[in-house]
Structure 1
Amino acid sequence: MGSALHAEETEMQADHPYVGLWVTEDGHIRHELLPNGRYVEARGTRERAYEGRYEVTGDHIEYWDDTGFTADGDFVDGILHHAGMILYRR
């Protein structure tokens, strides 16, 4: 039953309006929110610096990195505020 619920949540993420690429103004940090509920974060020349899963509830995002690190952020007026950074939709 638990896996069916997770699959349903992942399917819901696929249609979420926040799926896509989010980038800091200088282009150094890049978050790609994938439709399968996974994300890839690039930092500078490190294209896959961090990877993990994410969930969006309303305008709030929670990240669970594959290494065990957790983080969160909020979408405000079409801008992602995450860990002291501001990322813009690309």
Structure 2
Amino acid sequence: MAKNGQESLHPYVGGWNTEGNYIRHQLLPNNRYIEARGDKEAAYQGRYRVTGDYIEYWDDTGFTADGKFINGVLHHAGMILYRQ
């Protein structure tokens, strides 16, 4: 536990964007995510799990996907997302 009583956040929690910011992932500390695409702020949302540098996504509609963090960059479904 951190001094403030909150658990330490996973280092990958936060915002990840494609170049040009068309696709934006927000990895929330409660293991939920929101994916924005263009003007649609919540195009997809669901839960995620990080194991080492591997991430798995389960969209609320049942769609699944995965990705990998390589040298501080998220590679997901043919996209490259950078830390916001």
TM-score exceeds 0.5? yes
More helix by share: 1
Unpaired segments ≥5 residues, structure 2: 1-6
Stretches of 4+ moved more than 6 A in 1? none
TM-score, normalised to structure 1's length? 0.84
TM-score, normalised to structure 2's length? 0.90
Amino acid at match of 1:36: N
Match of 1:28 among 18, 22, 29: 22
Amino acid at match of 1:67: T
Partner of 1:61: 55
CA drift of 1:24 comes to 0.1
CA drift of 1:15 comes to 1.7
**RMSD between aligned residues:** 1.4
What is the aligned-residue identity percentage? 72
